[in-house]
Amino acid sequence: MNSKPAHGVAVWLVLLAAAGTFALTMGTRQTMGLFLSPLNTATGLGVGSISLAFAFGQLWWGLTQPFAGALADRVGAGRVLFVGALLVALGTFITPLMTSTPGLIFSIGVLAAGGAGMAGPAVLMAATARMIPTSRRGMATGIVNAGGSFGQFLMAPIAGALTVALGWANAMQVLALLVLLALPAAFLLRGAPSQAAVAGQAPVSTRAAIRQALRTPSYLLLAGGFFVCGFHVAFLATHLPGVIAACGLPLQYAAWSLAMLGLFNIVGSIAMGWAVGRWRMKSLLSLVYAARALAVLVFLLAPKNGVAMLLFAAVMGLTFLSTVPPTVGLVAKFFGTTHMATLFGLVMLTHQIGGFLGAWLGGRMFEATGSYDAVWTIDIALALGAALLHMPIREVPVLRRASV
């Protein structure tokens, strides 16, 4: 049977567990850009090679989520989240021991990123959606999403301070141990397998649900827009410290810029969770992408001093992951929650394919030209395209046929 909705204080326990897990896994992953330069200095592999490990992590995080979602749909979210948190901690802890590109791909790109995918938004959002009453779902997804942003806001300064006090390698291993604090949340979110039929309908298999989704134009348009979101977010998370360093500003501005991304995304995520119940979700998504394009254009024309960097990070934070609540909402509206972890996981996969390109292309373009300007230009064009891409989406439930 499906998990029963939580009520009263249980609602806040569910939200605290889900948001806290996302804070620890997302916060740790989003601080990794601070370690790119120290890793390069320690290994001598070059920014391009290390960016490849980060880029592979973006891709693997996305590839993991549909499978993690399908597993959670079958066995419950708790076991998947528990293993995921352990893998994030292990991969992060052994990263300083790696001295080759394949080693970094294994620790950052396979273990840590794969674990973060298992304990990531596909499983967390689906578990939350099933345990929260429908009337609160939009705000609930906004709060869980804000948890990831709060983690970034909290962990980036901690990572910077630990690096100064203990050195980058010890700092990374301390962050790995902090991830283990997410393990108790797996018990609260364990739920139950979600393979029961929707009332009045015969059960639909996971494979049939996927086939139906891939034949739904609105779902494909949504996934295409999320690809652009992934490009933008991964480029910022991986290379914003490098952008700041290229402007001649000290490390503290890099750490605080990442923190500003997280802090203001808390505001953006909660505001978007509130807005989802009041305006069309596709229109909200178009507005977010258009705002990103405008903000990047203004940044390219503005002076590159410390104040400008922090203001830019704050504006980017408002739109950073605020795409998640309306995207989750549209998937749930199209297909319901029975296969939501799987179907949102597929959308997350397109997000992370974009993330792979954002992280990898940023490093390659910087090595080739000594500047990030070309990538910023690509980002503007993609954001404008995504704003247009969401307009034809039809916000209506998709009629599902029973599997045979």
Per-residue pLDDT of the chain (404 residues; tens, 9 = 90+): 344 555 444 777 888 888 888 889 888 887 887 888 888 888 888 877 887 888 788 778 878 888 888 888 777 788 899 999 999 999 999 999 998 989 999 998 899 999 988 888 778 877 787 777 766 767 777 788 778 778 877 887 888 889 888 998 999 999 999 999 988 888 888 765 554 444 444 466 778 888 889 999 999 999 999 999 999 888 887 788 778 887 777 767 777 887 787 788 888 888 887 888 788 999 999 999 999 999 999 988 888 887 888 898 889 888 887 888 889 889 988 888 777 778 888 888 898 888 888 888 888 888 888 888 889 999 999 999 999 999 999 988 885 543 33
Question: Is residue 269 within 8 Å of residue 324, measured between CB atoms?
Answer: yes
Question: Is residue 56 within 8 Å of residue 114, measured between CB atoms?
Answer: no
In a domain, 64, yes or no: yes
The two tokens of residue 160 are 């910077």
Question: Is residue 273 within 8 Å of residue 139, measured between CB atoms?
Answer: yes
| DSSP E strand boundaries for 127-213 | none
Which CATH number fits the domain that encloses residue 47?
1.20.1250.20
CA distance 229 to 164: 32
Q: Provide φ and ψ at 204, rounded to 5°.
A: -115, 125
In a domain, 402, yes or no: no
How many domains would you assign to the chain?
1
The two tokens of residue 124 are 């967390």
CA distance 239 to 258: 10
In a domain, 163, yes or no: yes
The two tokens of residue 389 are 């891409």
In a domain, 399, yes or no: no
Residue carrying structure tokens 């902090």: 178
> In the chain, what is the straight-line distance between the N-terminal and C-terminal CA atoms, in Å?
21
Task: Please provide the DSSP assignment of 350-380 as one string.
Answer: HHHHHHHHHHHHHHHHHHHHS-SHHHHHHHH
In a domain, 156, yes or no: yes
In a domain, 309, yes or no: yes
CA distance 55 to 75: 30
Q: What is the pTM of this model?
A: 0.72
- Exposed, middle or buried by CB within 10 Å (0-12, 13-18, 19+), for 193? middle
Q: Which DSSP symbol is given to 132?
A: S
CA distance 142 to 263: 14
| Domain enclosing residue 328, as ranges | 9-188+206-389
The H-assigned helical ranges of 76-136 are: 77-94, 101-104, 113-118, 121-131
Question: Is residue 264 within 8 Å of residue 318, measured between CB atoms?
Answer: yes
Question: Is residue 181 within 8 Å of residue 24, measured between CB atoms?
Answer: yes
- For residue 206, what pLDDT is reported? 76
In a domain, 351, yes or no: yes
In a domain, 400, yes or no: no
DSSP run (H or E) holding 200: none
CA distance 6 to 3: 9
The string of pLDDT tens digits covering residues 60-107 is 887 888 888 888 877 778 889 999 999 999 999 999 999 898 999 999
